[in-house]
Each structure stands twice: as structure tokens, then as C-alpha cells.
Structure 1
Amino acid sequence: MSTVEVPAAGTATPTGVAADRERAAARAPRAAGSVWRLLGSELGLTFRRPRNLAMLGVLAAVPVVIGVVLRTLGGDDEVASEMVLMVAGNGLALAFVSLYVLVPLLLPLIVGVVAGDAIAGEASIGTLRYLLTAPAGRTRLLAVKYVNAALFGLAATAVVAVSALIVGLALFPVGRVTLLSGSTIPLAEGLLRILVAVGYVAAGMAALAALALAFSTLTEAPIGAIAATAVILIISQVLSAIPQLAPLDPYLLTSWLNDFDGVLRDPVATEAMTQGLLVFLCYAVVFGSIAWARFGGRDITA
């Protein structure tokens, strides 16, 4: 008499394994699609929000003010004369001057507002629980929030550079760019170096976004996360200004933000900029991990 083998409980038949694989393969595109839709929705909300548009408008206005002031400023003041000479020789230099003015505090604060509001803002108005019903899950939702904040940082940096370029071309002559080392480079290379500077600053803003996002997962009050980010920025600037605390500089995020000026040297200061990018990466990994650990176990039923 022949016997029929029955699979033990809990074991999958070959047909069952194949079916599971097919179902998993079918779910993967849907999950990926939901992530892209969620990111598109986040970007749309971020760049349509009046508050964020107003902050981008402020960033665009600052290079205009700087350009007009430098165009009409006399050369009596020693510091002002150096800025006038830097920009007067070529309008492209206004992009570097504008970034140098905005990167230490205002630009990071604006990015911190968006990143700090990412999770805490949703929790405060009660929409976080509904977002978590999407197939993306907590980790992917957090990743979407971070990418959204990082892209806003890139957009904010680009707004400063583009506004400065437009004003610089309108108010000042354009030609070969004189570097800090005294050598000159062609106009096309100058534009390329501005693009590199924008990318470097945007990487710093992405690191700052991770810091603000970590604070955002620790509170349900957006103003708390934003204020904590602002306090960290101000404290870092104060610590950098104290000579006795110089050993702390390599560990402070703000100490590396202005190293985009490496593109104004001949040759380009790639070593300092590479170290800065590594610091940005470390900040993003550390504070991104803190945000993930907190958000993964957060109670959102309250």
C-alpha cells in the first residue's frame, strides 16, 4: 500500500514557497510606489506652504540687499572695501559672499524650521497616526521626511546662489574670476565652482536636517525641536569663537559649514572639503540613527 507524505505543520510546500515569493514580488512595487507618492506629497506640501515660501523669499532677498549695498558703498571702511573689491571685479563673487553671510546662521535656521517640524508638526495636529497607515511603514516614512528636509536645504542653498548670480550679473562686470590665491580662472570654471560650493553647503544642510529631525522625534511641540536646533547652532558658534576651546572645533558642525570657500583657492582645497563632507556624513548617520531609534518605538496612539 502506498503512503502519502503530509508536510509537517509550519512547513511550506514548494508551491507555497513560490506563491509567497510571488506575493512578496507583487508587494514590492506597490510599496516602492507608495514611498514615491508619499515623497511627492511631502515635497508638494513643503514647497506650497506659505511659511516656507516666505523663508525662501527672505533668502533670495539677502543677496539683493548685499549687492545693492556693495554697489553703492564707498571704500572708506576697510572691511567693506575688501568686500567691494572682491565683488566689483566680477559679479560671480557675489554668490560666494552671500553664502558666506548666510551659511553660519540664517540658512541653517531656516532648514532647521522645516526639519524640526517634520515629525513634531504631524504629531501636534494629530495627522501622524494617519501617515503611519500607509504601506511605507515607520522607517520609510522617517526616510521620506529626511529626504524632504534635505531637498529643501538644497533648494534653499540654490535660491541664494541663483539670486546672487542674477544680482551680480546685473550690477557688476563679468569676466575672469579672481581667486583668494590671486590667480584667475575662466568664467565657465567659476560657474562650476559655484555649483560645487552649492553642493557642499547643501550637504551641510542635510547633516543639520538630521539633527533637527532627531529633535523632532523627541517632542510633539514643533517649536521645541526648532528652538533646540537653534540653541545648538548658537552654542556651536559661541564655542568656535573662544580660542581656548579650539580643540572642540573639529567636532562642531558649524566649524565646517564655511569650508566651501575651498573652491576659491588654487588648487581647490579638496582635503579640507573632504573632511567637512565626512563630518556631515557622521552627523547624518548619528542623528539619523537617533531619530530612527526614537521614532521606531514611539507611541502615536495618544
Structure 2
Amino acid sequence: MSAETVTAHGYRAGRTLPYRVELRRQLSRRRTLAVFAFMGVLPLILIGAFALGDAQNSGPDGRVNLIDVATSSAFNFVLFVFFVTTGFFLVVVFALFFGDTVASEAQWGSLRYLLAAPVPRMVLLRRKLVVALMLSVAAILALVGLALLAGWIAYGWKPVSTPVGIEIATGDMWWRLAAIVGYLIVNLLMVGSLAFYLSVRTDAPLAAVGGTVFIVIVSSILGQIDALGNLRNALPTSYNFAWIGMLGDPPDTADMASGIGWSLAYAAVLTALAFWQFRRKDVTS
């Protein structure tokens, strides 16, 4: 005689822990509020630094970089904000939202109660992954919007001046900015997926977040070693600044395409490993 699975009337596994519930839970956390608050404060800090700095020390220094033209217009200021946050700050944001999502539940001892609700494991993990992505994307969009607003108030609405002397009209810059933001999000998926995988493997959020940041830092260091040759192209951080190619005339998207390919490959493997590990994990906390 075959055994039957008895479930409560009206129970649907796929409708447990709706996205809105998980999103509301994450939005109410202090670390989420702190991240979005800092997104609003960071542009003001940078504008204040430019205002307090010595104008004689802010001119060209023989190197081609976005700092030299950061105060030329609102768009230039946004590009400068990307330039100073791509290597580390945005990495921390993605690592925090993705790495804290599962490990924090385990640390609090609430993970087993969520699964006993009952919320199927794969549904729980999928909800947390999507919400972490939503918060990370929202954080970047908030940074873009607030930096653009602050830059407009401080520096005005003028064409974009690039460090190599190319001028980009504001109308043309909108789609370039959209492409840059889209690239940054896709490129950071590798960071988020790594943090998510580590979050599944540990019960300590700090280990998941810190481990991700540590790996990214090591990758950046290895990327400076010329002896590695073409092997450096496979490092997760090799194409972090490929978005600068969008400031060319015409835009150079070759490195961006490579960066997207590598990031999606890393993200697919790490996400699959996270689901595989969580399906077999003995949840005791």
C-alpha cells in the first residue's frame, strides 16, 4: 500500500513566505536602513570634500582619471561616484545583502522555525535570493538618483567632459548611464552569488560577508601581478572598471561583454552550489 502525503486543506508550498513578507522583514532591519542612509550621505560627503579642498590640488596630475572632471557637471559627478565605489563599497553592499540573508536566520535560531512553518527549503532560498537582489539593485539606483540630484544642485546640468577631452551631450549620456548601471549590477552578481553561497555554508553572517570581501580583495591583488598573463582575465575583479569604455566615442563594449560573461558564469555556478548545499544541509539552528 503506497503512503500518502497529507497536507492541510488549501496549503500550497509555492505560496508560503510571499516575497512581500520577506521584503518587509528585510526592509525593517537596521542594516538595510543604514545602507540606504549611507547611499544618501555619500554624495554629500564627496561634494563637501571637493568644496573644502584646495582647487590648486584638484587639477590634472598627469594621469587620466575621472577625478579631474568630477565637478564639471551632474553626470560627471555620478561617474566619479561610480569610480570611487566600484572597487570596494558596492562590493560590501552586495556582500551584505546576499551574505547576511540566510546566515542571520541561522544565527538567530529562526531558520528551523521558518522551515517548520512549513516553508519548503527551495522556496525559502529562492525568496531570500530574489529579495537580496532587489535590495542590492535598489541600493545602486538610490545611489545613482541621489548622486545625480546632488550633482545637479552643486555643479549644474551640462554636457559630460571626459578625461581625454571627449564631450558627451546630456541626451546621449542617459542611455550610456543606463548601460553603465546595468553593467555594474550584472558584474556584481558574482559578488552576491559568492556571498549567498557562503551564507548557506555558515551560521555566522560576518563570516559570509567578510569572506566574500576578502576573496574580492585577494582577486584584486592577483590582478596586479603581470606574471599571471591571461589568467588574470578569469579573476572575478578583472572587469570591474570595464564600464569606463562607455565614455568613448564610439563606446568600447568589448571588455564589458567579457565581464558580463564571466560574472554570469560565476553567478550560475555559485547559485547552483548554494541550492545544492542547502537542500542537503542539516538545519539545526
TM-score normalized by the length of structure 2:
0.86
- Label 1:97 to 1:84 Cα distance change in 2 as closer, same or farther (>3 A): closer
Query: Per the alignment, in what secondary structure is the counterpart of residue 88 of structure 1?
Result: coil
The residue that corresponds to 2:7 in the other structure is none
The residue that corresponds to 2:235 in the other structure is 252
Q: CA deviation at 1:69?
A: 2.4
> Which amino acid is the alignment partner of residue 126 of structure 1?
G
Q: 1:271 aligns with which of 230, 233, 254?
A: 254
Q: CA deviation at 1:210?
A: 0.8
- Label 1:61 to 1:246 Cα distance change in 2 as closer, same or farther (>3 A): farther
**Does residue 65 of the first structure (1) align with residue 45 of the second (2)?**
yes
CA–CA distance in structure 2, aligned partners of residues 259 and 134 of structure 1: 45
Q: CA deviation at 1:184?
A: 3.0
Q: CA deviation at 1:247?
A: 3.0
Q: Is the 8 A contact 2:70 2:79 kept in 1?
A: no
**Does residue 219 of the first structure (1) align with residue 199 of the second (2)?**
no
Q: 1:173 aligns with which of 136, 148, 156?
A: 156
CA–CA distance in structure 2, aligned partners of residues 85 and 77 of structure 1: 7
Q: 2:139 aligns with which of 149, 156, 168?
A: 156
Q: Is the 8 A contact 2:106 2:203 kept in 1?
A: yes
The residue that corresponds to 2:26 in the other structure is 46
CA–CA distance in structure 1, aligned partners of residues 181 and 30 of structure 2: 24
Q: CA deviation at 1:80?
A: 7.0
- Label 1:192 to 1:75 Cα distance change in 2 as closer, same or farther (>3 A): farther
Which deviations, in whole Å up to 9, do the C-alpha atoms of 1:149-184 show, x marking residues without a partner?
A: 212221121122112101110111312223456443
- Label 1:207 to 1:136 Cα distance change in 2 as closer, same or farther (>3 A): farther
- Unpaired stretches in structure 2, ≥5 consecutive residues: 3-9
> Which amino acid is the alignment partner of residue 52 of structure 1?
T
Q: Is the 8 A contact 2:200 2:278 kept in 1?
A: yes
- Label 1:246 to 1:43 Cα distance change in 2 as closer, same or farther (>3 A): farther
Give the number of equivalent residue pairs.
276
The residue that corresponds to 1:287 in the other structure is 270
The residue that corresponds to 1:90 in the other structure is 73
Which deviations, in whole Å up to 9, do the C-alpha atoms of 1:43-97 show, x marking residues without a partner?
A: 2122221122112222332222222323453133555796564233322111111
The residue that corresponds to 1:115 in the other structure is 98
Which deviations, in whole Å up to 9, do the C-alpha atoms of 1:10-51 show, x marking residues without a partner?
A: 8xxxxxxxxxxxxxxx97xx444436x1x2222212222112
CA–CA distance in structure 2, aligned partners of residues 201 and 80 of structure 1: 27
**Does residue 76 of the first structure (1) align with residue 57 of the second (2)?**
yes
- Label 1:118 to 1:145 Cα distance change in 2 as closer, same or farther (>3 A): same
TM-score normalized by the length of structure 1:
0.82
Q: CA deviation at 1:245?
A: 3.1
Superposition map of 1:94-109 within 5 A: 94-109=77-92
CA–CA distance in structure 1, aligned partners of residues 119 and 190 of structure 2: 23
CA–CA distance in structure 1, aligned partners of residues 139 and 127 of structure 2: 18
The residue that corresponds to 2:185 in the other structure is 202
CA–CA distance in structure 1, aligned partners of residues 243 and 66 of structure 2: 17
**RMSD of the TM alignment (CA)?**
2.5
Q: Is the 8 A contact 2:246 2:252 kept in 1?
A: yes
Structure 1 or 2: more helix by fraction:
1
Which deviations, in whole Å up to 9, do the C-alpha atoms of 1:85-122 show, x marking residues without a partner?
A: 42333221111110110110111112212211111111
Which of structures 1 and 2 has the bigger CA Rg? 1
- Unpaired stretches in structure 1, ≥5 consecutive residues: 1-8, 11-25
The residue that corresponds to 1:34 in the other structure is 16
Which segment drifts farther, 138-147 or 286-295?
A: 138-147
Which segment drifts farther, 161-170 or 181-190?
A: 181-190
Which segment drifts farther, 173-182 or 105-114?
A: 173-182
Q: Is the 8 A contact 1:153 1:206 kept in 2?
A: no
Query: Per the alignment, in what secondary structure is the counterpart of residue 203 of structure 2?
Result: coil
CA–CA distance in structure 1, aligned partners of residues 67 and 237 of structure 2: 26
> Which amino acid is the alignment partner of residue 34 of structure 1?
T
Q: CA deviation at 1:296?
A: 0.7
CA–CA distance in structure 2, aligned partners of residues 191 and 135 of structure 1: 46
